[in-house]
Amino acid sequence: MRLFVSEGAPGSLPVLVAAGRVEGRAELLISTVAPEECVVPFLTQPRLPVLQLDSGNYLFSTSAICRYFFLLSGWEPDDLTNQWLEWEATELQPALSAALHYLVIQGKKGEDVLGPLGRALTHIDHSLSRQNCPFLAGETESLADIVLWGALYPLLQDPAYLPEELGALRSWFQTLSTQEPCQRAAETVLKKQGVLALRPYLQKQPQPSPPEGRAVSNEPEEEELAVLSEEEIAAAVTAWEKGLEILPPPRPQQNPVLPVAGERNVLITSALPYVNNVPHLGNIIGCVLSADVFARYSRLRQWNTLYLCGTDEYGTATETKAMEEGLTPQEICDKYHVIHADIYHWFNISFDIFGRTTTPQQTKITQDIFQRLLTRGFILQDTVEQLRCERCARFLADRFVEGVCPFCGYEEARGDQCDKCGKLINAIELKKPQCKVCRSCPVVKSSQHLFLDLPKLEKRLEEWLGKTLPGNNWTPNARFIIRSWLRDGLKPRCITRDLKWGTPVPLEGFEDKVFYVWFDATIGYLSITANYTDQWERWWKNPEQVDLYQFMAKDNVPFHGLVFPCSALGAEDNYTLVKYLIATEYLNYEDGKFSKSRGVGVFGDMAQDTGIPADIWRFYLLYIRPEGQDSAFSWTDMLLKNNSELLNNLGNFINRAGMFVSKFFGGSVPEMLLTPDDQRLLAHITLELQHYHQLLEKVRIRDALRAILTVSRHGNQYIQVNEPWKRIKGSEADRQRAGTVTGVAVNIAALLSVMLQPYMPTVSATIQAQLQLPLPACSVLPTDFLCTLPAGHQIGTVSPLFQKLENDQIENLKQRFGGGQAKISPSLAVVETVTTAGPQQIQTLMEEVTKQGNIVRELKAQKADKNQVAAEVAQLLDLKKQLALAEGKPLETPKGKKKK
């Protein structure tokens, strides 16, 4: 074995002393290296000393090296030694490295140096004197003594730093320091220069962070009630008393909605779903539903809001789909556009416009941007090697070619990606390529294509990002993705394709080609607006007055945060660029494997057939919105959240508040005489309301939903503590108290109905109808909690809002949608239908299943290790699953019908 040490590394001291233990037992070579040498290949920070073992393993912890030497000499570990070493690593070292840094690097002296160490030194002293032993772990010197002595020696060898009053520590330290091996090690490391000998090493080390105060925890923080000041309470009461008066009149509906100078103009887009298939839950939460919550919130704030979306219709996937269904691409688009529109209508998505990209406006605007880029020199021409089918006389773009995957050998890999291994493929790398139309073998031919010169636009982009990103208005994942693209360097991007179904390229020699969807899909937002109003440029060429919010799943970030801004900046036409880029992570489906093309899960049209209302879907999807991290849809969890949060918390509170008004007060809101407790409650609710606003202003949709539920929890607790149902039967004072509590509670219910509006619009409207909430209060959400249902207000008929979801109902749905076996691919714009695999693949899988089955049987017969058997069984089950999928059989019943 080889020990690496460096000049001035304090860890060398104990290590050299401990090394004395193995003399004559093992061969030990010692190499001296520079302090910044990274000896251990897998560590980013240099660490020394390091012991390289003959097996090739590294010990890079000083106390582990010492322990190893002790173990080799026959020493047995004990609890007390372990405890000292753990204390040394977690308590002494952080304090000691701070002290050494102050002394050696910063040149501080005295108490400045000893300060951080005081407690640790006292601890050693007390332990020694309490045990009444000369050494840390007993009567003889041992591992703990060597490690601690070695750590402390550089500092304590200076008598100025060995405190007089710590007698036990002093005598322990001096005893060890006079021993021969220790003296030798000290001379080698400190070279009679004292602590300054550590300088070459310490100055290469990062500055130690001050010892941390509190251990970090991943337990959810207990919800603690904030401490309120008198002023906050007084302000809440004042606002409450003003009531409806201070509400502005509702905004008149405009058509078309256009930006207004001097107002906040909010333009919201949701990523355009790809037309060729039915959207699933992941698409819905990833963009349209998230954007809808924000659009509804924005309208509640009385911001001038335009929310638009539409179907993305051009591209190969449409052409392929058209061929599959025997329709023209236009017919496919017409058919699926309606399906999309119906689904979003069912989910209550409040688009101002839901358009499509196959319109003359799209051609006009795309070609205009292209021409401007071309004249300004941002378009390049280059030759691309492509597959061409001679029989069909055309180049085979992306999905028009299939073949054997060059990476995994999968038989039916597509021209752009392999479904089995998920890798992206360059079509010419496919083995045995076949034209998808006529099945003949294509040849490689070169074809001229146009490229957007991103490197040339990079400077402008960085300048714009430099102004946009510091506002922290982009979600962290979006910032990260854009930064990593920039770090890797931008490359020219091909913007044309050999297709017919697309926006034509207005350039000589490119008549047979169209723009690639990546170039023109984002222009869809502009053309969809242009179809809505001829004054579309007031939204899209008005960066000073318009705040553009774009919602998408994170795979769309490069096109919205980089490619489109580059086109727009290069076109030099004062385009409105994205100010708030809101990207979600992925939503998984149950705990099955993530699979793009074999995905089974809940699709938009099926959600309608479950009998579960749209608002419940909205609530649950928003509750698990993949905000900041991936999340998973789970049927059981949906049942749980419906029954606990909606039924027992929110629904229970609102219903009780309303019922008390009807039952005890004849439907008329009673007089409220606020006690100090009530006033404090008003302030708590106000605080939570303001928190809700802060969160939604930052588009933290999921977190703001939690704020709503917290308000309702406050309400439930308030009713529970004050028991109006008991007091109503009591004295006059009790009855009055019951009135106040009921009145405050029903006003909280009214506030909740408005806060809930962006999330559950139908439920919100139902509550507002039940409470007969005055119109101005329904359409505005102020930042203060107001009394919107004053005494004497007559409410309507109250009825329960939510239904319990039953276990067997959910179990049925779970079975129906294949929960547990499959996942949906949430954010991918393209969703394939489940395709059954070719006979060859099925054959291979069957053989694999048989083989694996034999392995399991053999292992079981040999009574092999349980874990090993379990692992093999898991593999077998997985293979069986794959086989069932490949054969298109449902997994529960081996003889089931074919899936579509």
Partner 1 sequence: MAAAAELKLLEKSLGLSKGNKYSAQGERQIPVLQTNNGPSLTGLLTIATHLVKQANKEHFLGSTAEEKAMIQQWLEYRVTRVDGHSNKENAHTLLKDLNSYLEDKVDLTGYNLTLADILLYYGLHRFIVDLTVQEKEKYLNVSRWFCHIQHYPGIRQHLSSVVFIKNRLYANSH
Q: Of 744, 740, 736, whose CA–CA distance to 684 is shortest? A: 744
The answer to the question of residue 61 lying near partner 1 (CB under 8 A) is yes
Tell me, residue by residue from 466 to 485, as one string, x for binding to partner 1 by CB under 8 A and - for no binding: -----------x-------x
Question: What is the total count of residues that contact partner 1 (CB under 8 A)?
Answer: 61
> Of 12, 52, 63, 496, which one interacts with partner 1 (CB under 8 A)?
63
The answer to the question of residue 90 lying near partner 1 (CB under 8 A) is yes
Q: Of 589, 603, 597, 598, whose CA–CA distance to 823 is shortest? A: 589
Q: Which is nearer to partner 1, 325 or 878 (CB)?
A: 878
Q: Which is nearer to partner 1, 5 or 752 (CB)?
A: 5
The answer to the question of residue 60 lying near partner 1 (CB under 8 A) is yes
Binding range to partner 1, per CB under 8 A, among 84-92, 195-203, 686-694, 745-753: 84-92
Cβ(757)–Cβ(750) below 8 Å = no
How far apart CA 399 and CA 318 sit, in angstroms, is 10
Kindly state the smallest distance separating residue 485's Cβ from partner 1, in Å. Answer: 7
The DSSP secondary-structure symbol of 784 reads S
Q: Which is nearer to partner 1, 48 or 267 (CB)?
A: 48
> Of 139, 178, 214, 544, which one interacts with partner 1 (CB under 8 A)?
214
> Of 313, 547, 585, 615, which one interacts with partner 1 (CB under 8 A)?
585
How far apart CA 888 and CA 824 sit, in angstroms, is 17
Cβ(442)–Cβ(433) below 8 Å = yes
- Angstrom CA distances, 821 to 152, 215, 588, 755, stand at 58, 39, 11, 37
Q: Which is nearer to partner 1, 298 or 595 (CB)?
A: 595
Q: Cα–chain-centroid distance for residue 885?
A: 30
Task: Say which residue the tokens 């969160």 belong to.
Answer: 695
The answer to the question of residue 165 lying near partner 1 (CB under 8 A) is no
> Of 870, 892, 896, 898, which one interacts with partner 1 (CB under 8 A)?
870
Which residues are 355's β-sheet partners?
A: 310
The answer to the question of residue 79 lying near partner 1 (CB under 8 A) is yes
Cβ(274)–Cβ(830) below 8 Å = yes
Kindly state the smallest distance separating residue 482's Cβ from partner 1, in Å. Answer: 11
The token pair at 365 is 């605007």
Tell me, residue by residue from 282 to 321, as one string, x for binding to partner 1 by CB under 8 A and - for no binding: ----------------------------------------
> Of 126, 184, 423, 500, which one interacts with partner 1 (CB under 8 A)?
423
Q: Which is nearer to partner 1, 11 or 715 (CB)?
A: 11
Q: Which is nearer to partner 1, 129 or 350 (CB)?
A: 129
> Of 52, 93, 97, 649, which one interacts with partner 1 (CB under 8 A)?
93
Angle at 479 between CA 476 and CA 481, to 5 degrees: 105
Contacts of 341 (CB under 8 A, 6+ apart): 354
How far apart CA 443 and CA 435 sit, in angstroms, is 10
Tell me, residue by residue from 215 to 254, as one string, x for binding to partner 1 by CB under 8 A and - for no binding: xxxxx-----------------------------------
Side-chain-facing half-sphere of 677: CA atoms under 13 Å: 10
Kindly state the smallest distance separating residue 583's Cβ from partner 1, in Å. Answer: 11
The answer to the question of residue 421 lying near partner 1 (CB under 8 A) is yes
- 736-746 burial string, b = 16+ CB within 10 Å, else e? bbbbbbbbbbb
Residues 553 to 572 in contact with partner 1, rule: CB under 8 A: 554, 558
Kindly state the smallest distance separating residue 168's Cβ from partner 1, in Å. Answer: 17
Cβ(46)–Cβ(201) below 8 Å = no
Q: Which is nearer to partner 1, 90 or 440 (CB)?
A: 90
Binding range to partner 1, per CB under 8 A, among 159-167, 235-243, 433-441, 580-588: 580-588
Kindly state the smallest distance separating residue 591's Cβ from partner 1, in Å. Answer: 7
Q: Of 777, 782, 789, whose CA–CA distance to 746 is shortest? A: 789
Question: CB count, 10 Å around CB of 79?
Answer: 8
> Of 20, 94, 776, 888, which one interacts with partner 1 (CB under 8 A)?
94
The answer to the question of residue 338 lying near partner 1 (CB under 8 A) is no
The answer to the question of residue 455 lying near partner 1 (CB under 8 A) is no
Kindly state the smallest distance separating residue 721's Cβ from partner 1, in Å. Answer: 30
How far apart CA 737 and CA 728 sit, in angstroms, is 8
The answer to the question of residue 132 lying near partner 1 (CB under 8 A) is no
The answer to the question of residue 41 lying near partner 1 (CB under 8 A) is yes
> Of 43, 441, 721, 864, which one interacts with partner 1 (CB under 8 A)?
43
Tell me, residue by residue from 767 to 796, as one string, x for binding to partner 1 by CB under 8 A and - for no binding: ------------------------------
The token pair at 680 is 């404090």
Kindly state the smallest distance separating residue 477's Cβ from partner 1, in Å. Answer: 7
- Angstrom CA distances, 744 to 719, 739, 750, 764, stand at 10, 9, 10, 19
Kindly state the smallest distance separating residue 426's Cβ from partner 1, in Å. Answer: 9
> Of 586, 603, 692, 759, which one interacts with partner 1 (CB under 8 A)?
586
Binding range to partner 1, per CB under 8 A, among 59-67, 177-185, 466-474, 658-666: 59-67
Kindly state the smallest distance separating residue 447's Cβ from partner 1, in Å. Answer: 22
Q: Of 39, 8, 38, whose CA–CA distance to 202 is shortest? A: 8
How far apart CA 878 and CA 866 sit, in angstroms, is 18
Q: Which is nearer to partner 1, 65 or 189 (CB)?
A: 65
Residues present in the chain in total: 900
Binding range to partner 1, per CB under 8 A, among 40-48, 99-107, 838-846, 849-857: 40-48
Which residues are 418's β-sheet partners?
A: none
Kindly state the smallest distance separating residue 217's Cβ from partner 1, in Å. Answer: 6
- 798-820 burial string, b = 16+ CB within 10 Å, else e? beebbeebeeeebeebbeebbbe
> Of 28, 31, 77, 249, which one interacts with partner 1 (CB under 8 A)?
77
Kindly state the smallest distance separating residue 53's Cβ from partner 1, in Å. Answer: 6
How far apart CA 794 and CA 670 sit, in angstroms, is 10
Side-chain-facing half-sphere of 735: CA atoms under 13 Å: 6
Cβ(597)–Cβ(413) below 8 Å = no
Tell me, residue by residue from 622 to 641, as one string, x for binding to partner 1 by CB under 8 A and - for no binding: ------xxx-x---------
Return the H-helix or E-strand segment holding 434. Answer: strand 431-435
The token pair at 117 is 């160490």
Task: Say which residue the tokens 């089995």 belong to.
Answer: 420
Burial of residue 509 (CB within 10 Å: 0-12, 13-18, 19+) is: exposed
The answer to the question of residue 25 lying near partner 1 (CB under 8 A) is no
Kindly state the smallest distance separating residue 6's Cβ from partner 1, in Å. Answer: 19
> Of 14, 18, 39, 87, which one interacts with partner 1 (CB under 8 A)?
87
Bridging pattern class, strands 265-270 and 304-311: parallel
Q: Cα–chain-centroid distance for residue 556?
A: 15
> Of 89, 469, 507, 834, which one interacts with partner 1 (CB under 8 A)?
89
Kindly state the smallest distance separating residue 416's Cβ from partner 1, in Å. Answer: 11
Alpha-helix residue ranges (DSSP H) falling in 666-723: 676-697, 701-722
- 261-293 burial string, b = 16+ CB within 10 Å, else e? eeeebbbbbbbbbbbbbbbbbbbbbbbbbbbbb
The answer to the question of residue 861 lying near partner 1 (CB under 8 A) is no
Instruction: Point out which residues bind partner 1 (CB under 8 A).
Output: 41-45, 53, 55, 57, 59-61, 63-65, 67-68, 71-72, 77, 79-80, 82-83, 85-87, 89-90, 93-94, 212-219, 420-424, 477, 485, 488, 554, 558, 585-586, 588, 591, 593-595, 628-630, 632, 867, 870
